[in-house]
Amino acid sequence: MKSGIKTSEFWLTLLSLIGGVLVGSGVLTEDESLTLQEAVVALALAVAPIWQYIRSRTAIKVADSGK
């Protein structure tokens, strides 16, 4: 099992908390927060397929190296 800091859940929770603190403290307006949220979601949707491809290629290479 991965340690907490190495999981995507940790980083997503941290980003959510930071966003909440920035909005709550008045550093960001709600509109700016929504724009930032949309940008983060777009980035995650762009990176997810690439990450999955890298993981599958790594699994193939590890399997081939064990032969």
For the chain, how many residues are written?
67
What six digits make up the tokens of 13?
A: 């929770």
Determine the 3-state secondary structure of 28 from DSSP: coil
7-63: pLDDT as tens digits: 878 888 898 888 889 888 999 888 888 898 898 889 888 888 888 888 898 888 888
For residue 67, the model assigns a pLDDT of 64
The model carries a pTM of: 0.53
Q: Where are the domains of the chain?
A: 4-65
For residue 54, the model assigns a pLDDT of 87
For residue 25, the model assigns a pLDDT of 94
Q: In sequence order, which ranges of 1-67 are alpha helices (DSSP H)? A: 8-24, 30-65
For residue 1, the model assigns a pLDDT of 63
